[in-house]
Amino acid sequence: MKKIMTIAAAILSLGLIFTSCTKKEGKTSGSANSEPVTVEIWHTYNGTQQECLNQMAEDFNASQSKYIVKIMAQDYKGFADTVYNAVANKIGPSIIFN
């Protein structure tokens, strides 16, 4: 369990680092006047893994106001196709866990 939490935290941190480097409407996403950056995570976890991921996102969101982490559970069946289609249509997630 500790290993899963460590891996998930590392991936979440990397996603936030890469997201903070993007630009929106000519402004750097980390500037004082910008809206919070939303990082959307799609996953196929259940049970303890899902609870742990949700808790980490809640703790992170409560700790600061520059980023919002949204956790979205997806069905395992057809997950790869769902992600592929979402990304192709530019509505995909920031991070996936399968």
Sign of the CA dihedral with 88 first, then 89, 93, and 94 last: positive
Reply yes or no on whether the pLDDT at 70 is more than 70: yes
Tell me how far apart the alpha carbons of residues 19 and 78 are, in angstroms, rounded to a whole number: 26
Contact 9, 56 (CB under 8 A): yes
Tell me how far apart the alpha carbons of residues 32 and 36 are, in angstroms, rounded to a whole number: 10
Using one digit for the tens of pLDDT, what is the confidence trace for 11-61? 666 565 555 544 444 444 555 668 999 999 999 999 999 999 999 999 999
Confidence (pLDDT) at 15: 61
Six-digit token string for 97 = 């866990």
Report, in angstroms and rounded to the nearest whole number, the Rg of the chain calculated over CA atoms: 14
Report, as an integer, the average pLDDT of 49-75.
Answer: 97
Confidence (pLDDT) at 17: 56
Confidence (pLDDT) at 34: 85
